[in-house]
Structure 1
Amino acid sequence: MELSALVRLTTGITLLACVLAVAGLHSYASGRARRQALVDRLAATGQTHYAGRRRHFPGLDRRLRRTRLGRALELRLAATGLDVTPGEFTACLAVAVAGLWLIGQAALAPFFGPLAGLLGIWAAVQFLAWQRQKRIERFINQLPELARILANATQAGLALRTAIGMAAEELEAPAGEELGKVANQLAVGASMDDALGELADRLPSRELVVLVTTLVLSNRAGGQVVSALRNLTETLEERKETRREVRTQLSQVNMTSYAVPVLGVGSLFLMNGVKDGALERMTGSPAGQIAVLVAFGLYTVGFVLIRRLSRIDV
């Protein structure tokens, strides 16, 4: 009797485990199918940042997104507008650093291998900053037209949310893409303050902050948003011309800041070309290594000082 009860209990537990396993597999498969359908739908409408091609290094990309550094890198890449995932960028950076390490070690001396690798990392960071600044400049140049479209739309009686969606369709990148993100956030229930605040965080500039503040205050308290936008359009046009003049005047100074470290690195190749093995003998002692590090530090300080002194905030 006890054996029969034990058999029935074991059979019942086994059947229950099988039923739960089947239910779990069905839930997992349906969830995965819904996720893939959502990804395909967003990719078809262009609402994902990484839509349009097959991505490489997905495992590395997933691991990076779990870290704080990976999330910061993803935000930086999104601000640049580059169609690159954090995993792809990290893999390319690792290959470039390894290549520069080997080139510096073979062409100059073993001591310059790590320095060349660090130079590659610095160049990658500067490239992202340059791409981000270029995108910000392009967005700033589109702000007068954006303010004009919003003013015309609101004067015609359209709501601010509708006006933003209309501007996203009419303007080219990057303003069209960024406003499309704002319109998508508003469509899923985000507040106007949060959506525009994220836009200002992605592309920080004084002009955009003024425009965002005007829109947020008008959305909160109402008021003459049309006249405010038209006055803002004239101001943005004047600031656009002023920024262009300042950038033209400082172009020679900016080129000088980049020429200083290039001359320093070029002198190393010149020295090694005049007398083969000179750099290897020089960096073979601690005093020579310290002298090279001090020289690189002075070139870096010169670059930073020239860039800092030539910076004019308009």
Structure 2
Amino acid sequence: MTEGPPSILSLAWLLSLVYVFVAAVFVVRRLTDKSGKELARRIKAATRGRDAATDAAGDLVKRHEMSGLRWLDVFLSRQAWSRRMDKMLAQADIEAPLGIFVLLSLVLATTGYVAASLYAQNPFVRLAVGIGLGLLPFKWIAMRKARRMQEFERQLPEALELVGRALRAGHTFTSGMGMVVSEFAEPIRGEFQTTMEEINFGMGVAVALDNLMDRVDCPDLNFFVVSVKIQNETGGNLAEIVGNIAWLIRERLKLKGRIRVLSAEGRMAAWVLCLLPFFVCGAVQVLNPGYLNLLFTAPLGHILIYLVMGLMTMGILVIRKMVRIEV
């Protein structure tokens, strides 16, 4: 006797266990969060003198936590990929620690694998579903970072023009950045405000701009930072330099927009070619149930499925290479 499909009650029980586990992770994170105590210690150290404050700041950098769980924080601190992901979290303006997303990814991967095993006997299908669900939190981080960096790139030319006008009016460079902070919205306001605070606290302009370039993943910002650093060393008309950089960035954005419009047809063709086989299979299965069963049960059918998936992947990579043009 073959087992039938799992009941709704069993799936609900499985999802309940997943939610309880995720909730437990957040509770543990809340109970082990020591950021308030660390902040109070730094303030107390700052009142005792500059040296103590410097030691507290250095100690805080050393004790940057990637997770509220001690064992997970130790594990993540020893990994190279975790440092890159932690930097991506900062660029995406996500305050949650990396450990939350790692645990969530493990929970989703395990849930996907277990749920797929209830319906599919092929281990590759189970593994694919588990990996796909496990990558969802990191995909969300990448998408949030991309949107934030795209918005920063869109705001950058106008912000640099404002800095250039402030320099022509006789204001200082930091005053021009202060105007950007007061006139613009996020994300450029927060990044420029952090740079201004570093300069006001005694950090050199070149070092503060290097930190800005490290925090923001925007190639156009490199032109501005390098030009300001060169101007500080060799001299020159900074207002004219900033204005020219703003014009250059705006022209690059126009060119990228034109390229995106011209390549829209190729991207749409890629979507159609990728989704059409699945829609056709679904329509055939609905109109004539059992017609495709041989494709999923026979060994030759499995070979054909793997071959088709490989060819589709190769086609996606080729089309992606064709429509992605670097400016």
TM-score of the alignment, normalized to the shorter chain, above 0.5: yes
Determine the C-alpha separation between the residues in 2 that align with 1:84 and 1:279: 45
Query: What residue is the counterpart of 1:163 in the other structure?
Result: 176
Q: How does 1:50-129 map to 2 (within 5 A)?
A: 58-59=68-69, 62-63=73-74, 64-111=76-123, 112-129=125-142
Partner letter of residue 73 of structure 2?
R
Query: What residue is the counterpart of 2:236 in the other structure?
Result: 223
Determine the C-alpha separation between the residues in 2 that align with 1:127 and 1:75: 15
Q: How does 1:111-260 map to 2 (within 5 A)?
A: 111=123, 112-260=125-273
**1:290 shift after superposition:** 5.3
SS in 1 for 2:69: helix
SS in 1 for 2:151: helix
Q: Deviations over 1:9-65 (max 9, x none)?
A: xxxxxxxxxxxxxxxxxxxxxx99862326899xxxxxxxxxxxxx99621763424
Q: Deviations over 1:266-286 (max 9, x none)?
A: 56766776338657634xx5x
Instruction: Return closer, same or farther for 1:211/1:36 CA change in 2, 3 Å cut-off.
Output: closer
Higher RCO (CA < 8 A, seq sep 6+): 1
Partner letter of residue 62 of structure 1?
D
Q: Deviations over 1:197-219 (max 9, x none)?
A: 34334433442222222222222
Partner letter of residue 309 of structure 1?
M
TM (norm. structure 1) is: 0.69
- Of the structure 1 ranges 301-310 and 257-266, higher mean CA displacement relative to structure 2 is found in 257-266
Q: 2:297 aligns with which of 281, 296, 307?
A: 281
Q: Deviations over 1:138-173 (max 9, x none)?
A: 111111111112112323333323433442333211
Give yes or no for contact 1:257–1:303 (8 Å, CA) kept in 2.
Answer: yes
Determine the C-alpha separation between the residues in 2 that align with 1:267 and 1:300: 18
Instruction: Return closer, same or farther for 1:69/1:279 CA change in 2, 3 Å cut-off.
Output: farther
Give yes or no for contact 2:89–2:141 (8 Å, CA) kept in 1.
Answer: yes
Give yes or no for contact 2:66–2:86 (8 Å, CA) kept in 1.
Answer: no
Instruction: Return closer, same or farther for 1:93/1:33 CA change in 2, 3 Å cut-off.
Output: closer
**1:105 shift after superposition:** 3.3
Determine the C-alpha separation between the residues in 1 that align with 2:182 and 2:308: 52
Instruction: Return closer, same or farther for 1:95/1:34 CA change in 2, 3 Å cut-off.
Output: closer
Instruction: Return closer, same or farther for 1:33/1:305 CA change in 2, 3 Å cut-off.
Output: closer
Give yes or no for contact 1:108–1:272 (8 Å, CA) kept in 2.
Answer: no
Partner letter of residue 229 of structure 2?
V
- Of the structure 1 ranges 190-199 and 71-80, higher mean CA displacement relative to structure 2 is found in 190-199
Q: State how many pairs are aligned.
A: 268
Give yes or no for contact 2:104–2:137 (8 Å, CA) kept in 1.
Answer: no
Partner letter of residue 297 of structure 2?
R
Partner letter of residue 69 of structure 2?
G
Determine the C-alpha separation between the residues in 2 that align with 1:199 and 1:94: 33
Determine the C-alpha separation between the residues in 2 that align with 1:172 and 1:207: 19
Gaps of 5+ in 1: 1-30, 42-54
**1:191 shift after superposition:** 3.2
Q: 1:303 aligns with which of 316, 320, 323?
A: 316
Give yes or no for contact 1:109–1:279 (8 Å, CA) kept in 2.
Answer: no
Partner letter of residue 38 of structure 2?
R
SS in 2 for 1:209: helix
Instruction: Return closer, same or farther for 1:222/1:137 CA change in 2, 3 Å cut-off.
Output: same
Query: What residue is the counterpart of 2:39 in the other structure?
Result: 36
Give yes or no for contact 2:155–2:188 (8 Å, CA) kept in 1.
Answer: yes
Partner letter of residue 67 of structure 1?
Q
**1:115 shift after superposition:** 1.2
Determine the C-alpha separation between the residues in 1 that align with 2:134 and 2:217: 24
Determine the C-alpha separation between the residues in 2 that align with 1:38 and 1:266: 60
Instruction: Return closer, same or farther for 1:279/1:196 CA change in 2, 3 Å cut-off.
Output: farther
Give yes or no for contact 1:197–1:212 (8 Å, CA) kept in 2.
Answer: yes
